[in-house]
C-alpha cells in the first residue's frame, strides 16, 4: 500500500496522554504509519505537564513549524515539537490551549451558528477544554495548509474530543482532507452505562431526545456534526458502525479495526448482539 497524501496528522486527546483505550489504538498503528509516511507522519495531542514529561521529548521544530508556532504564540496558542517516547518514536506536536481560553465563548457560538451544536450548559473541563484544544489544532493545520500549496494533507481526528479541529477546518473551507473515527458512540456509551439495553433501542429511540435527557447533547451533537461533515467517517467495528448509523444518522464510509483487534474473534456479547439484530 502506498500513502496517497503528502502529510498525515493524527489528532487525539490521548497522544502523549494515556487516558483509555484510544491511546492503545493510536500507538498500535504507529509502525505502519511510519512505513507509509516516514517523517511526514505527525501525532498531535494536548500539552499537559502531568503526562507530557514522561511521554514527550522536545526537539527543535522544522522551519515551517517554527514560523507557525511563532504566529500562533502571538494569539495565545503554544505549540511544541518533538518525539513520542514509544516504540518508533514518531514526530509529535503538542498544543497548549490554555492561554487561548479567552476565545472559548466565541468558539462555542460559532459551533452553534455553523453546525447547530448546543453547548450552552457545557462544563469547561468536561467539554469546553478538549474542544478548545482541538480548535487550536485546527488553527495550526489551517496555517500549515496555507504554507503548503499543492500538498495533499490529511487530518485524522479521533472521537468528539478532537472534533473542534475538524469543524474548524470545515467551517473555514481549509484544504485539508478530514477523517473522523469514533471508537464508540457517546450515546451508546451513556445508555450502556445506565444499564439500558442499547441494541433493543436502536430502532425506536430518538437519539437527540435521549442525548438531552442524559445531558450529553454537547458531545452528541459534536460527534454527529463530525460524522456528517468529515470527508471520510469511520468506526472501529461493525457493531459501532451500526450504532453510528442509527444514532448519528450517518453510515460509516469504512471500518478501521483497531490494530490489536484485527485477528480477534467476536466476544460472546458481540455475537449475541449480532444474533438479535440479524435474526
The predicted pLDDT at position 1 comes to 55
Return the residue matching grid coordinates 490529511: 154
Q: What is the pLDDT of residue 202?
A: 85
* 8-state DSSP, 128: I
- CB-based contact 56:92 (threshold 8 Å): yes
Mean pLDDT of the chain: 91
Mean pLDDT along residues 43-62:
94
Q: Judging by DSSP bridges, how do beta strands 177-182 and 153-158 pair with one another?
A: parallel
Supply the pLDDT for residue 200: 81
Task: Tell me 118's DSSP state.
Answer: -
What is the predicted pLDDT for the residue at 204? 83
- Give me the phi and psi of 159, to 5 degrees please: 70, 170
Q: Which residue has the higher pLDDT, 263 or 252?
A: 252
Taking the C-alpha atoms of residue 11 and residue 139, their distance in angstroms, rounded to an integer, is: 13
- Single out the residue of 215, 267, 211 nearest to residue 239, CA to CA: 267
Provide the pLDDT for residue 203.
79
- Provide the pLDDT for residue 267: 37
**What is the grid cell recorded at 188?**
451508546
Separation in Å, CA 157 to CA 98, 179, 197, 265 = 20, 6, 29, 27
C-alpha to C-alpha distances, 255 to 63, 131, 136, 205, 236, nearest whole angstrom: 36, 25, 28, 24, 6
Whether the per-residue pLDDT at 107 is higher than 80: the answer is yes
Instruction: Give the mean pLDDT of 162-187.
Output: 98
* Helix residue ranges, H only, the chain: 21-28, 30-37, 49-55, 63-73, 104-115, 129-146, 163-171, 186-193, 198-201, 207-213, 217-229, 238-247, 268-278
CATH class of this structure's domain 7-278: alpha beta
How far apart CA 116 and CA 118 sit, in angstroms, is 6
Task: Give the residue from 14, 58, 10, 17 showing the smallest Cα distance to 36.
Answer: 10
Q: Give the number of residues written for the chain.
A: 279
| pLDDT level of residue 264 (50, 70, 90 thresholds) | very low
Indicate if the pLDDT at residue 276 is higher than 90.
no
Rounded to the nearest 5°, which phi and psi values hold at 85? -80, 65
Query: At residue 217, does pLDDT exceed 70?
Result: yes
Instruction: Report the predicted TM-score, pTM, of the whole model to 2 decimal places.
Output: 0.91
Assess whether pLDDT exceeds 80 at residue 259. Answer: no
Amino acid at each position: 500500500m502506498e500513502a496517497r497524501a503528502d502529510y498525515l496528522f493524527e489528532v487525539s486527546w490521548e497522544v502523549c496522554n494515556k487516558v483509555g483505550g484510544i491511546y492503545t489504538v493510536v500507538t498500535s498503528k504507529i509502525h505502519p504509519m511510519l512505513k507509509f509516511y516516514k517523517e511526514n507522519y505527525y501525532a498531535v495531542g494536548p500539552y499537559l505537564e502531568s503526562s507530557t514529561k514522561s511521554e514527550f521529548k522536545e526537539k527543535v521544530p522544522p522551519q515551517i513549524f517554527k514560523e507557525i508556532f511563532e504566529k500562533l504564540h502571538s494569539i495565545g496558542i503554544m505549540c511544541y515539537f518533538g518525539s513520542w517516547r514509544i516504540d518508533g518514536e514518531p514526530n509529535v506536536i503538542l498544543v497548549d490551549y490554555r492561554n487561548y481560553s479567552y476565545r472559548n465563548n466565541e468558539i462555542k457560538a460559532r459551533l452553534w451558528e455553523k453546525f447547530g451544536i448546543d453547548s450552552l450548559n457545557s462544563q469547561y473541563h468536561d467539554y469546553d477544554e478538549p474542544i478548545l484544544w482541538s480548535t487550536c489544532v485546527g488553527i495550526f493545520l489551517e496555517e500549515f495548509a496555507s504554507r503548503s500549496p499543492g500538498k495533499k494533507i490529511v487530518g485524522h481526528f479521533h472521537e468528539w474530543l478532537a472534533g473542534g479541529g475538524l469543524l474548524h477546518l470545515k467551517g473555514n473551507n481549509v484544504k485539508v482532507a478530514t477523517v473522523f473515527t469514533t471508537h464508540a458512540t457517546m450515546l451508546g456509551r451513556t445508555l450502556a452505562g445506565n444499564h439500558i439495553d442499547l441494541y433493543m433501542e436502536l430502532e425506536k429511540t430518538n437519539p437527540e431526545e435521549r442525548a438531552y435527557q442524559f445531558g450529553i447533547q454537547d458531545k452528541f451533537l459534536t460527534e454527529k456534526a463530525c460524522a456528517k461533515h468529515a470527508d471520510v467517517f469511520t468506526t472501529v467495528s461493525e457493531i459501532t458502525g451500526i450504532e453510528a448509523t442509527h444514532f448519528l444518522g450517518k453510515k460509516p464510509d469504512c471500518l478501521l479495526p483497531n490494530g490489536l483487534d484485527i485477528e480477534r474473534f467476536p466476544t460472546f456479547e458481540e455475537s449475541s448482539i449480532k444474533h438479535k439484530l440479524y435474526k
